[in-house]
Structure formats: structure tokens, C-alpha cells
Structure 1
Amino acid sequence: MKALTWHGKNDIRCENVPDPKIQHGRDAIIKVTACAICGSDLHLMDGVMPSMQSGDVLGHETMGEVVEVGSENTKLKVGDRVVVPFTISCGECFFCQRGFYSGCERSNPNAKMAEKMWGHSPAGLFGYSHMLGGYAGGQAEYLRIPYADVGPIKVPDGLTDEQVLFLSDIFPTGFMAADFCNLKGGETVAVWGCGPVGQMAIKSAFLLGAERVIAIDTVPERMELARQSGAIVINFMDDDVYDKIQDLTNGRGADACIDAVGTEAAATASLDSMIDRVKVATFMGTDRPHVLRQAIHCCRNFGTVSIVGVYGGLLDKIPMGSAINRGLTMRMAQTPVQQYLPQLLGRIQQGEIDPSFVITHRATLDEGPELYKTFRDKKDGCIKVVMRP
């Protein structure tokens, strides 16, 4: 089958790889009908995530049609149309039973590797390094799904692939970002990053009752899409973000701040941003957490900082004094997708949101390597790429 594979920093290829096979009775195999390039895939392209191996199949935003089912899987049948969460979860362990599916204790066969870096292992993920399981991803013609009686959600008739594909990751992630803000109605929420997850966070904040959303970015197409969703937009290259948020909130600060950027924040004129880039370039640091520092400073006393941008290692100079002395709540997670799926599918069915609004590019797998570069470099107005194998 064809698949997009990783062969080192900036080296993504479309090539033939072996077809997946059933390995356990709870498995299923799907023929992929749609998949997407996620912002976190760019961290792999940029060589940020350790333990990638040459030839690894990429991708964790995937849906398709079931073509084979393991002997122990009674949930799915051949012909079912499903969306696949990026988190692989057993459904039975301590964390899965409590709805914390992204903390699954059983789905990462390389848990010891993750424990050395993070203390404890999260769930295995599709197409996202051997430290997180070494599972083949879904930017391919076929995908093997472990624990397929827990993860995939069946797609009702009448919904298109593009309406539901993003239930695999970016819609639940953006919704969780807003959900973490504990919105009661009438709040001001600031969102750093107007990429696909940021766009979903903006929409979700309004769905959950925010009165105002302030969106921070510098890419014209992304800022315009945020405006179309009703956000007030700040261009961080033209304005001082802290001063603008202070002005918009009469000096109080935002009720909640969402970091939808993560480890590879763009460079700004600020000293800390420039130091971050030097440290990462000289292997003296692992991440560039400028956005997180700014979100903490811009959040009002006893507000919430919600972190859904991906960080991988150790963050320097986080202003914990500000967070502690002002009573901030900080919430963060890899999204326990399965927990959110039923209600988010319901919101799509009821017409409250159509997540396909972020799609700007449609392509084949053969075009995938070039579109990885287009997406990373923010060229051609690219916000979200969907591929149909």
C-alpha cells in the first residue's frame, strides 16, 4: 500500500509499505477514505520528537471503512464507516475507566521508554514515535486499529467525511481547550495560535458561552478565519499582546488563556523568544515556551491557563511566581478523545458546528510530502490539508 513515511528531518516520502494485518482479536483494519496533516505532525517533520525511525508511517487524523475485524471484536463489522481517535486506549484500565483515555496504562508497548523521559507513560498514539508505541499511522491506504472495540466511533448516514474527520483529533482538542476554561457564560477567552486547533478552540469557546474571544496570530489567512468566527484578532508582530489584552479587558486580563501553539512558537521581537530559539538551536533547550509565558501574564487573577499545544521536554523560565501568587489554574492534556466523541458528534449532527470550515487544501497521498512543506511554511493560504488515499 501507499503511505507517507518519515526518513529524517524535513524528509517525508510517499512510498510503498507492507499492508497492515490483524495482530490481535480486538483489532480492525480500515480502508482509509480521508486523513489529514496535523500541526503536531510538523514537529515530527522538524525533528523535534525523539525515537522516530526511518520508514515510520505518519498520521493520526484518520477515518475509513472497516474491511477486516478481529475475532474478539463484536463492536464493529465489515462495511462500518468510522472515525479513529488518535489516542489508542484499552477501555479497561484505571485511567480508561475514569475517562482519561489518553493516559491508558496498556496501549503503549514501549512505556519504559516514555517513563525515562516523563516519569510515567501516556497512551500509545498513531504515527507518533516509538516512545509512544511505534504504531503505524493513518496517512496511508489502510490502517490497523488496536483496541478497535473501544476507539473508533461509527459515522451516521448523512454526514460527509469532511464533517467528521476532525473528530479524530483537532475538534476534540480544541473543544477540550475551551472546556478546561470552565466557562459559565460571558467570559473573555484569549487564544494563542489560529491554526486548526486554535480555530476549533475559538468556535468551542463561543459554543460554551464565552462572550468574547481574542485570537493571537500573525498569518493573514488564519487571522481572517478567526474573524469570521467572531474573534477579536491581535497580530503579535504589530502589537504588544499584553498591552492589547489589558486594554480590551480594562486592565483585568483575560478570564482564560489557551495556548494552542506549543513547543515551536514563532519568533517575536521579545528577548525571551529570541533566547528560546538560541537555546533550542544550540541544544541547550528542548522547547520554545514563549507563548505559555505570555498566556500566564495575560490571564486575570484566579483565571485559567489551558494548554493544548504540544510540549515535549523541559521548559525554561516559566513564571510560576505569577501563576502561584495570582491563583491561576493550569490545565493541560493530550486529549482523551473517546470521552468527547459522543457529544461532539451530536453537535455536528445538530448543525451547531461544521468542522470542515478549516480545510483549505485537498490532495492525494502522492502530493502529501510537498503539502507538509506548504503547511509548515504557511504558504498558499494553507490552514488544513485533507488527503484521500
Structure 2
Amino acid sequence: MRAMVYRGPYRVRVEEKDRPRIEHPNDAIVRVTRAAICGSDLHLYHGMMPDTRVGMTFGHEFVGVVDEVGSSVQRLKAGDRVMVPFNIFCGTCFFCARGLYSNCHNVNPNATAVGGIYGYSHTSGGYDGGQSEYVRVPFADVGPSLIPEWMEDDDAVLLTDALATGYFGAQLGGIVEGDVVVVFGAGPVGLYAAKSAWLMGAGRVIVIDHLDYRLEKARTFAHAETYNFTRYDDIVVHMKKITDHLGADVAIDAVGAEADGNLIQHVTGAKLKLQGGSPVALNWAIDAVRKGGTVSVMGAYGPMFSAVKFGDAVNKGLTLRMNQCPVKRQWPRLFEHVRNGYLKPSDIVTHRIPLEHIAEGYHMFSAKLDGCIKPIIVPNAA
């Protein structure tokens, strides 16, 4: 099959790889019809996540058609159209039983925190991802769901991570009616978090970013108030000024390890494999929220040795809530929002890229060219 293959920082290409095979009776093989490049894929692309190995295929957002199932699979059959959450989980361990699918205890031998993730370095289990023609899906009776007949692939693929994660970020904020919510980051997850905040009763939604075209999307898609932090001496001081000098009720960090990176990050991350992120946005969130407020974090972070203002968070009496999104737990409510027209996930898609051109897609997304907000990858005809 043809698949995207990592060859080192800033070097990806499409190569022939062995088609995945059934390795366990609970496996399925899925023919991918849509995949996506996620902002967190850029951390891998830039060489900033530890143990990202040459030869790996990225891609944790994908949907497709079941091509083959293992002998124990009961809920899927060949020909089924499925969406696959980015979490790989067993469904039966202590954490899965509590809906913490992103913290599954049985799918990742390399970490004690995060569970398994498709296409996201060996710190997340070393599973190949869906930026390819076919992908192996473990625990096929547990993770994948049938795509509703009324849902398009371009919408379904965005529920496998970006929309679910943005919604989860708003959910972690514990938003109550009338709250002022500030979202740091106007990428896809930040846009969805801002849109979701309204659904949860926010009275005011503010989005902070440094790219004008993304802020324009935040205004038109999420109906948010927007500010470009490069135009202010101190964006936190400005946030205080526009919130009666109190701060927001809820701050959502939709940045995580900054995808652009800085020199120190690149040296310690790409060269020394020490660091998975810079806490700039997280510290802004801590500073910009009011005393007694809530900070929600669902961005992608690896090991981080930079200083987080934890003392300030303690002294302000903040509630900090964070995790990788347990995607499948969000689907029932999101299906209703999409079906009822409150959310149209594909409205943020700006580019549809053939798999053969994925190297150009990564460059465009990384360099923020051509107004790129969310690129969809098309490995096969639907």
C-alpha cells in the first residue's frame, strides 16, 4: 500500500509499505477514505516529540471502510463505513470502565499516563496511523463506530479528534450560563472549543491567536471576539482590562506544545529529546483567568521542563482540568449537535490533499501558507 512515512524532522514522503494484516482476532483492517493532518502532527513533523521513529506513519484522524475483520470481531463486518477515535483502548480495564478511554492501561507499554494513539510516536504505543491507504485497528469491537448514514466523511473524520477534543476542552471548563470564556489558539481545536462554549451557555467567548486569517475564521465560524496577541505589549494585561480587571471565568489552552516551536524547544526537543512543549499559552491561561476560575488544558504536551506558574495557580485558587480527550464518550452528544445543524465540522476545512501530495500538505500546514486551517487527506476514492 501507499503510506506517509516519517524520515526525520521536516522530512515526510509517500512510500510503499506492507499492507497491515490481522495480528489479533480482535483486529480489523480499514481502507481509509479520509484522514487529516492535525496540529499535534506538526510536533512530530518538527521532531519535537520524543521517540518519533523513522519509518512511522502518522495520522490519528481517519475514517474508512472495513476491509477485513479478525475471527473474534462481532460488531463490524467487511463493507461497514466506520469512524475511528484517535484513542486506542481495550474497553475493560479500570480506566476504560470509568470512561477514561485516553488513559487505557492495556494498550501502551511505554507510558503510565497516556494510552494508545494512532500514528503518534512510540511514547503512545508505536501504532501506525491512518495517513495511508489501509490501517490496522486493534480492539475493533470497542473503538470504531458506524458512521451514521446522514453524516458525510468530511464531517465524520473531524469527530475522530479535532471536534471531540475542542468540545471536551469546553466541557472541562465547567462553563455555566453567562461565563466569560477565553480560548488560546485559533487552530481547529480552538475554533471548535470556542463554538462549543456557546452551546454550554457562555455569555462571552474570546479567542487569542497571532494569525489574522485564523482569527477571521474564529469570528465567522465561532462568532467569537478576537485579539491578535502580537499587537499588544502584554495580552494578559489587555485581557484584564476588557474583563473589568477580573479576568475570564474560564480559560482554555488549545495550543499545547506550540506547533511553531522556538530555538530552545528545537534544541532540547529535536536534538536532546528532552522537551515536548513550551508553557507560554498555559501560563497566559493561568494569568488571564480570574481568581477561583478554571483552566482547561487539552493541547498535546510531552515531557516539559520549562516553568509553569503553578504557584500562581495555587494562590489564585484555580481549578485545573486536563486530559487527552476520551473521544468516543463525546460522540452521542456531538452526533445530535451535527444532525440538528448546531455544528458543521467540515466548515473549517480549507484544503483537500491527495495522499501523494502529503509532503506539500505538511509544509503548507506547518508554514501557515494559503490560509490553511484544516487539511483533509484523501488516500482512496470513497
TM-score by length of 2: 0.94
Q: Deviations over 1:298-320 (max 9, x none)?
A: 11011011111111112422112
One of 320, 343, 350 as aligned partner of 1:360: 350
Stretch deviating more after TM superposition (343-352 or 90-99): 343-352
Cα pair distance change 1:281/1:38, threshold 3 Å:
closer
Match of 2:196 in 1: 204
Asked if the contact 1:153–1:341 (Cα under 8 Å) also holds between the matched residues in 2, the reply is no
Structure 1 residues 285 and 49: CA distance shift in structure 2, 3 A: closer
Instruction: Compute the displacement of 1:266 (Å).
Output: 5.5
Q: 2:85: which partner in 1?
A: 85
Distance 1:265 1:208 in 2: 28
- How far apart in 2 are the matches of 1:82 and 1:249? 44
Call closer, same or farther: CA 1:56–1:216 in 2, change over 3 Å: same
Aligned to 1:230: 223
Cα pair 2:36 2:377 within 8 Å, conserved: yes
Please name the residue that 2:255 is paired with.
261
Residue 336 of structure 2 is aligned to residue 346 of structure 1: yes
**Does 190-199 or 239-248 show the bigger shift?**
239-248
Do the aligned residues in 2 keep the contact of 1:361 with 1:385 (CA within 8 Å)?
yes
Q: What is the deviation of 1:283? A: 5.3
Which structure 2 residues correspond to residues 41-80 of structure 1 after superposition, within 5 A?
41-80=41-80
Shift of 1:25: 1.2
Q: Deviations over 1:338-389 (max 9, x none)?
A: 2112211221112110110110000100111111011011011000100111
Please say if residues 46 and 270 of structure 2, whose CA atoms lie closer than 8 Å, have aligned partners that are also in contact: no
State the alpha-carbon separation in 1 of the partners of residues 288 and 185 from structure 2.
Answer: 15
Question: What does the per-residue CA deviation read over 1:79-100, in whole Å, with 9 as the maximum and x for residues that have no partner?
Answer: 1111100100000000000000
In the TM superposition, residue 131 of structure 1 has moved relative to its aligned partner by 2.3
> Aligned pair in 2 of structure 1 residues 280, 125: CA closer, same or farther (>3 Å)?
closer
CA distance in 2, matches of 1:22, 1:47: 30
1:109-153 residue CA offsets vs partner (Å, 9 max, x unmatched): xx2x32xxxxx2421110111222111100011111000101111
* Aligned residues with identical type, % of pairs: 45
Q: Which amino acid aligns with 1:90?
A: C
Question: Which residue does 1:11 correspond to in 2?
Answer: 11
- Tell me if the contact between 1:289 and 1:315 (Cα under 8 Å) persists in the aligned partners: no
1:135 — aligned with what?
127
- CA-based RMSD of the aligned residues comes to 1.8
What residue is the counterpart of 1:309 in the other structure?
A: 299
Q: Deviations over 1:262-297 (max 9, x none)?
A: 112658xxxxx8977887688596221111111101
Determine helix, strand or coil for the equivalent of 1:305: strand
Residue 321 of structure 1 deviates from its aligned partner by 1.9
Gap runs ≥5 in structure 1: 115-119, 268-272
Q: Is 1:23 the equivalent of 2:15?
A: no
Alignment check: 8 A CA contact 2:47 2:269 kept: no
Q: Assess if the C-alpha contact under 8 Å between 1:307 and 1:332 holds in 2.
A: yes
In the alignment, what sits opposite 1:270? none
Alpha-carbon separation, structure 1, partners of 2:157 and 2:367: 23
Partner of 1:117: none
8 A contact 1:206–1:213 mirrored in 2 = yes
AA matched with 1:333: N
Asked if 1:337 corresponds to 2:331, the answer is no
Quick one: distance in 2 between partners of 1:385 and 1:145?
A: 23
Runs of 4+ in 1 over 4 A off after TM superposition: 273-285
1:110-259 correspondence to structure 2 within 5 Å: 111=109, 113-114=110-111, 120-228=112-220, 229-239=222-232, 240-259=234-253
Following superposition, the deviation at residue 76 of structure 1 comes to 0.7
- Superposed displacement of residue 243, structure 1: 2.2
CA contact (8 A) 2:50 2:274 kept: no
Please tell me the residue identity of whatever aligns with 1:14.
Answer: V
Residue type at the aligned position of 1:356: S
Match of 2:361 among 371, 376, 389: 371
SS of equivalent to 1:344 = helix
CA distance in 1, matches of 2:342, 2:323: 25
The answer on whether the counterparts of 1:276 and 1:289 sit within 8 Å (CA) in structure 2 is: no
The residue type paired with residue 142 of structure 1 is Y
Deviations 1:156-199 (A, max 9, x none): 11221112111110111100100001112111111111001111
Unmatched tracts of structure 2, length 5 or more: none
Confirm or deny: 8 A CA contact 1:86 1:125 kept in the other structure.
Answer: yes
2:247·2:290 contact (CA, 8 Å) conserved in 1?
yes
Partner SS state of residue 131, structure 1: helix
Question: What amino acid is aligned across from residue 85 of structure 1 in structure 2?
Answer: P
Distance 2:303 2:196 in 1: 28
Q: What TM-score do you get using the length of structure 1 for normalisation?
A: 0.93
Asked if 1 retains the 8 angstrom alpha-carbon contact of 2:260 and 2:366, the reply is no
Moved more, 275-284 or 134-143: 275-284
Residues in 1 aligned to 2:64 and 2:324: alpha-carbon distance in whole angstroms: 23
Choose which of 279, 298, 303 in structure 1 pairs with 2:288.
298
Give 1:51 shift. Answer: 1.4
